[in-house]
A and B are shown apart, each in its own frame.
Chain A
């Protein structure tokens, strides 16, 4: 039995959530194969080997120059025959491709899985439901189990012993219908748009406590005073139109995992917690000492963020100039 992992890449290699998924796959104890669709960056095969992939399946050619979920699914299906489990990271792409694969193989799919174990011929999985406020135990039966792994359910860790993967080109039959849903053009984001958010070392989070659209000045200054810091906000902030949607952290926004998350005026509703709970250190600034964010944080300061954040900024400037 082998496990197949669909890997997403960027210019630096396999993206973090795909490396997490490879780590998760190794936990099942079976041999892990990776599948890469389209061009991969230099060094990718070695990196996948470091994460324990013994075989790298590669689908390449004109059908894959622009993303189409159906064409990617055709590639995964062409490789799926030998595998008892197929998984991808729980990204929009991962969700979409695995769901297409589920339709093509007439199989069950479990989204946002956080743990999995073999149970006879099937797979018992636990997955996040209800915006992360509950876990669902679910059984995947049938010849192939399909799942996506919730972001930051495990930490990406290379295997104890790196493998030297065998690279196997895939011969994929892509139909015209599969190409009806290709991306026809891409547009670069605003220079300011937070692709930075998910890679920031520090995320300064802000919630209802910011008070108004004008309440973010000190918080933005704090991000300027810290190393590689970005502003992230809770859903209520974007719903009220105080900040743009791309800054939203949570179940329906970005999932972040920075070294430090500074939660300012955020009560800690599960919707938000799901998006930042894997932060290495959490500092809460809140007027309510009983707010869930305060009781779940590592550190907290009790009080009004509009008094505390300027004082922190002042202290940072004082020490920088001292």
Chain B
């Protein structure tokens, strides 16, 4: 039986153009929907699968404002059975703050008799892209950690994780539990919520926690939007008639066989 804790973050769902808030420190998300990163969607899928396969439970956790309950409920609708929200302004926290706050919750629960044998996270959040919360959490909890893997399973009490190797093949890790693993999208197809799943999710009470320390912050000074470069495009033509001009270009660049 493996109890899994999966950590997610509410982020703006960026489509096209974005704009910044007046202070230049954040994205103006007033007109935007919200989601979690694709890596975290894969982590949630793996958490639910591992819990089901081993007869354990999957708990979803986030650090954020009350709005982030939307993302917790989505994970509950997919098959997580408990949800925890650490009540804090995510934009005021650096990656070390987030890891510390999660570690405090894990230790608190452990003291209360609930252990999380496996903690899953996305390899990075799609807004801040820090690539370090999982590793900082593992150090805070003194657990082994591997990152950016695409599949995770538990076999005979050992975590088996597989990720892409630099040479294009794959590499496999085996970790003793309790362990921390961060996930990259691509290894599993996240499931869709069922109607009964959505109904059930509405009834789950969201547990709340509060960080017991002041955030150090991320070191962010400001955000900037890159200036759009003036268009320098040369239109080679319209439709199939442009084929000769395209092949002329290929020959000029020397890329034909």
Interface residues of A (CB under 8 A from B): 8, 10, 15, 67, 69-70, 91-93, 95-96, 99-100, 102-104, 108-112, 124, 126-131, 133-141, 148, 177, 180-189, 193-195, 201-202, 225-227, 229, 235, 238, 241, 245-246, 248, 252, 259-260, 269-270, 281, 283-284, 289, 294-304, 307-308, 310-312, 314-316, 319-320
Minimum CB distance partner of B95 in chain A: A109
Contacts of A259 in B (CB 8 A): 253, 255
14 extra interface residue pairs, beta carbon distance < 8 Å, beyond A141-B219, A308-B243: A96-B135, A110-B219, A111-B131, A128-B129, A129-B129, A134-B223, A138-B221, A187-B169, A227-B255, A252-B186, A259-B253, A314-B243, A315-B247, A316-B250
Q: Return 16 A-B CB contacts under 8 Å, by A number.
A: A96-B148, A109-B130, A129-B129, A130-B126, A133-B226, A134-B223, A135-B223, A136-B221, A137-B224, A183-B173, A187-B169, A202-B255, A281-B253, A283-B246, A301-B242, A307-B239
Q: Which of A8, A189, A248, A315 contacts B168 (CB 8 A)?
A: A189
Minimum CB distance partner of B218 in chain A: A138
Q: Is the CB of A226 within 8 A of B250?
A: yes
Q: A69-B147, A133-B225 are in contact. Are A195 and B167 (CB under 8 A)?
A: yes
A235 to B240, CA, bound (A): 27
Contacts of B95 in A (CB 8 A): 109
Q: A93-B166, A181-B145 are in contact. Are A300 and B257 (CB under 8 A)?
A: no
Min CB distance, B234 to chain A, in Å? 5
A284 to B234, CA, bound (A): 10
Contacts of A241 in B (CB 8 A): 189
Q: A108-B219, A129-B127, A226-B255 are in contact. Are A95 and B238 (CB under 8 A)?
A: no
Q: Is the CB of A131 within 8 A of B257?
A: no
Q: Is the CB of A182 within 8 A of B173?
A: yes
A183 to B164, CA, bound (A): 11
A294 to B163, CA, bound (A): 35
The reply on B199 being an interface residue by CB < 8 A is no
Interface residues of B (CB under 8 A from A): 14-16, 18, 20, 27, 38-39, 94-96, 123-124, 126-132, 135-136, 139, 144-148, 163-176, 184-186, 189, 218-226, 229, 231-247, 249-251, 253-257
What 4 A-B pairs come out closest when comparing CB atoms?
A195-B168, A311-B240, A311-B243, A245-B186
Contacts of B246 in A (CB 8 A): 283, 301, 308, 312, 315
Classify the secondary structure of B's interface with A: mixed
Minimum CB distance partner of B251 in chain A: A319
Q: Is the CB of A140 within 8 A of B219?
A: yes
Contacts of B131 in A (CB 8 A): 95-96, 99, 111-112, 148
A152 to B20, CA, bound (A): 26
Contacts of A103 in B (CB 8 A): 135-136, 139
Classify the secondary structure of A's interface with B: mixed
Contacts of B176 in A (CB 8 A): 180
Q: Is the CB of B14 within 8 A of A95?
A: no
Q: Is the CB of A301 within 8 A of B236?
A: yes
Minimum CB distance partner of A101 in chain B: B135
A259 to B252, CA, bound (A): 12
Q: Which of A112, A141, A177, A182 contacts B129 (CB 8 A)?
A: A112
Q: A95-B131, A136-B223, A187-B172 are in contact. Are A303 and B164 (CB under 8 A)?
A: no
Q: Is the CB of B18 within 8 A of A130?
A: yes
A168 to B100, CA, bound (A): 37
Contacts of A189 in B (CB 8 A): 165, 167-170
Q: A130-B18, A133-B225, A184-B172 are in contact. Are A99 and B136 (CB under 8 A)?
A: yes
Minimum CB distance partner of A100 in chain B: B135
A17 to B234, CA, bound (A): 31
Q: A181-B145, A193-B168, A300-B233 are in contact. Are A252 and B39 (CB under 8 A)?
A: yes
Contacts of B16 in A (CB 8 A): 269
Q: Is the CB of A134 within 8 A of B27?
A: yes
Min CB distance, B21 to chain A, in Å? 12
Q: A102-B136, A109-B132, A227-B256 are in contact. Are A185 and B231 (CB under 8 A)?
A: no
